[in-house]
């Protein structure tokens, strides 16, 4: 196996990369509310995790994934998604990796496969021969022998850390291709390989404020993804994956541009949201009526809630002293 594999830099690749670069700049210049970003980051993390798992055959739906909690740890399908969410959270909360090593890759595998395979196999390179089979059960690719894996990973890591490829998206894509060909684990190679893409993209700021959910598009184009990945010529795979990243980057911008339609009420504390809905239902509401709805809440706390709703532009105060009424702003 030659690392890195040779490929042709086509005009199509250059044009697609130029669009990705432009989208990166566009997103960087957007003035986005912090709470809004945090909200869609959570959704992007969930979608990246879910669709990466779906590529591997997970049948969990988006609505089901939105209900995930620590109580789901014994359900294999749900565990696959929660593990990937933990792995992506690890990438997002860890300072951008400037130097990759084998331990980093093993840690990703350990997180992604927690509770899914035996403990002694998590974060450990395979020691058995392996092959990739098609749906008919025929081996379409015989992976390198276990004795070759450490040296091949060393070459991959040298490529990732090196400067021979300065185009970060292309480096991420080619690294993913190499990783999948090495197939260093018995299980979890696809999931860890896609996490590796996210990690490498982050080194150049191509995570798009962690709103990039390319896994959703890969899941939609899964047949193409595996078809290009199976080819010995890397060029079509790089072209395809750049298109996927371009589409994902455009989706990231759309998410941010939709902030004009974003409901700021999503950022409210539950009680304040309930107060706002109560005022909206009644159109005009006195403090006494509000207090009767929240009998166990101190009066001072309720008045502070109302003040914060006023400052946030959600409601307005009419009148003075005991005749004060509250209404929502139109």
Q: How confident is the model at residue 1 (pLDDT cuts 50, 70, 90)?
A: confident
pLDDT in tens, 119-167: 999 999 999 998 877 667 777 788 999 999 999 999 999 999 999 999 9
| Residue 301 neighbours by CB distance under 10 Å | 11
Percent of the chain whose predicted confidence (pLDDT) is above 90 = 54
Q: What is d(CA 318, CA 326) in angstroms, rounded to the nearest whole number?
A: 6
Q: Are 219 and 269 part of one and the same domain?
A: no
Q: Vertex 310, ends 308 and 312: CA angle to 5°?
A: 70
Answer with the one of 261, 287, 320 that is the final residue of a domain: 261
CATH code of residue 315:
1.10.10.10
Answer with the one of 211, 246, 261 that is the final residue of a domain: 261
pLDDT score at 45: 86
Burial class (CB in 10 A: 0-12, 13-18, 19+), 174: buried
Q: E strands along the chain, which residues?
A: 131-133, 139-142, 285-286, 315-318, 325-328
pLDDT score at 28: 85
CATH code of residue 150:
1.10.3290.10
Highest mean pLDDT: which of 33-37, 64-68, 316-320? 316-320
Section 240-253 average pLDDT:
94
pLDDT score at 37: 67
Q: Vertex 61, ends 58 and 62: CA angle to 5°?
A: 120
pLDDT score at 34: 61
Q: Are 177 and 253 part of one and the same domain?
A: yes
Alpha helices in 94-148 (DSSP H): 102-112
- Strand 285-286 and strand 131-133: the pairing is unpaired
Report the DSSP beta bridge partners of residue 328: 315
Q: Are 27 and 158 part of one and the same domain?
A: yes
pLDDT score at 71: 60
Answer with the one of 261, 293, 319 that is the final residue of a domain: 261
Domain that holds residue 141: 11-261
118 three-state secondary structure: coil
Q: Are 72 and 208 part of one and the same domain?
A: yes
For the chain, what is the mean pLDDT?
88
């Amino acid at each position: 196996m030659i690392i890195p594999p040779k490929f042709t830099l086509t005009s199509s690749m250059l044009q697609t990369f130029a669009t990705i670069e432009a989208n990166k700049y566009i997103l960087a210049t957007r003035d986005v509310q912090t709470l809004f970003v945090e909200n869609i980051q959570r959704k992007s993390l969930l979608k990246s995790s879910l669709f990466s798992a779906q590529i591997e055959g997970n049948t969990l739906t988006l609505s089901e994934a939105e209900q995930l909690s620590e109580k789901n740890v014994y359900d294999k399908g749900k565990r696959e998604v929660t593990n990937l969410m933990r792995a992506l959270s690890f990438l997002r909360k860890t300072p951008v990796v400037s130097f990759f090593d084998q331990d980093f890759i093993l840690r990703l595998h350990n997180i992604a496969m927690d509770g899914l395979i035996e403990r002694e196999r998590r974060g450990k390179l395979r020691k058995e021969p392996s092959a990739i089979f098609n749906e008919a059960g025929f081996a379409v690719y015989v992976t390198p022998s276990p004795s070759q894996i450490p040296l091949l990973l060393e070459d991959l890591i040298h490529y990732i850390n090196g400067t021979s490829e300065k185009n970060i998206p292309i480096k991420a894509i080619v690294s993913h291709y190499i990783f999948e060909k090495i197939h260093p684990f018995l299980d979890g190679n696809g999931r860890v390989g896609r996490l590796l893409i996210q990690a490498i993209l982050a080194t150049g700021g191509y995570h798009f404020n962690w709103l990039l959910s390319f896994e959703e598009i890969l899941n939609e184009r899964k047949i193409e993804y595996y078809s290009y990945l199976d080819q010995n010529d890397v060029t079509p795979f790089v072209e395809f994956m750049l298109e996927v990243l371009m589409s994902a980057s455009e989706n990231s911008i759309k998410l941010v541009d939709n902030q004009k339609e974003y409901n700021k009420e999503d950022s409210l504390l539950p009680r304040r949201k309930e107060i706002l809905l109560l005022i909206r239902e009644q159109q005009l509401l006195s403090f006494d009526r509000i207090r009767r709805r929240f009998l166990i809440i101190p009066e001072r706390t309720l008045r502070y809630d109302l003040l914060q709703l006023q400052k946030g532009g959600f409601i307005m105060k009419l009148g003075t002293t005991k005749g004060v009424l509250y209404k929502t702003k139109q």
